[in-house]
Structure 1
Amino acid sequence: MIEFAVNGTLMRGLELNGNLQKVGATFIREDITAPIYRLWSIRDRHPAMLRVSENGQAIALEIWSITPAALGEILLSEPAGLCIGKIILASQQEVLGVLGEPFLCEEQKEITAYGGWRSYTASK
């Protein structure tokens, strides 16, 4: 099993969480990243998180347990421009998780100050 970090619509109760449930993923815990990420809203449909070399912040996310085969299924169902990469948690543990490609964030609204997708959507 792989620990897998999600920071947007795959989280519990949100639009694409059914994709995780469909492949038998199990929720482990809520967590936060190390303060080295920034977050953008992509047309207010989903977030994209990027690792940065300066001015980063901790971002709220969830950790799920998932099989390697299911990880591939999840990646194929993610919106274009999202990818799987290594995410560093506040504890310094490294896990696989969803990141955005830089081009995806161009001309989109930065929402880092909200600290996460749930906080951003709750503010609207």
Structure 2
Amino acid sequence: MSLNPIQLAVNGTLMRGLALNGNLTQIGGTFLREAQTAPCYRLWSIRDIHPGMIRTSQGGSAIALEIWEIPALGLSQLLLQEPPGLSVGRILLSDQTEVLGILAEPYLCEGQTEITAWGGWRAYIESLTKNSKS
């Protein structure tokens, strides 16, 4: 029995050109497209190392992410390489479809900097780079 590839939404360091993107490409991941979540998510910077995204019933916004196609059997390998507190869940996209994606367990975001207003991890880390050049 062969398993069909799955679509996976990523919102942080797994995205193209960022620190852990190699984890996706090593399992045979293929970039499909950029996308946004429905406006029901909040995003935190976890010590400025990676983001944590949580679905919420209030105070949410659309968050930029990427959709990748990965071999179903590669999902467990990918998760084992993710930082503690990140897991896979269903993510509602702006077009109202759902895909699997990387989410944070709520405890991970406690006491961290909320970055929802930036609309995504890339925009937030770019703001850090601009501020350090000032």
* TM-score with structure 2 setting the length: 0.92
Give the aligned partner of residue 8 of structure 1: 12
The answer for the alignment partner of 2:39 in structure 1 is 35
Structure 1 segments, 4+ long, off by >2 Å, are none
Q: Distance in 1 between the 2:50 and 2:60 partners? A: 19
Tell me which residue corresponds to 1:48.
52
The one-letter code sitting in structure 2 at the alignment partner of 1:120 is: Y
2:18 partner amino acid: L
* Residue from 96, 102, 111 that aligns with 1:92: 96
State the shift of 1:22 in Å: 0.4
Aligned length: 124
The answer for the alignment partner of 1:119 in structure 2 is 123
Q: CA deviation at 1:50?
A: 0.1
Q: Distance in 1 between matches of 2:59 and 2:24?
A: 31
Q: Report the secondary structure of 2:44's partner residue.
A: strand
- Residue of structure 2 in register with 1:60 after alignment: 64
Point out where structure 1 has 5 or more consecutive residues left out of the alignment. none
Task: Give the superposition deviation at 1:73.
Answer: 0.7
State which structure, 1 or 2, has the greater radius of gyration over its C-alpha atoms.
Answer: 2
CA distance in 1, matches of 2:75, 2:38: 23
What is the alpha-carbon distance in structure 2 between the residues aligned to residue 84 and residue 74 of structure 1?
10
* 1:24-53 superposed Cα distances (whole Å, 9 cap, x missing partner): 000000000000000000000000000001
Question: What amino acid sits opposite 1:92 in the alignment?
Answer: Q
CA-based RMSD of the aligned residues comes to 0.4
The one-letter code sitting in structure 2 at the alignment partner of 1:103 is Y
Identity among equivalent positions (%) equals: 63
Point out where structure 2 has 5 or more consecutive residues left out of the alignment: 129-134
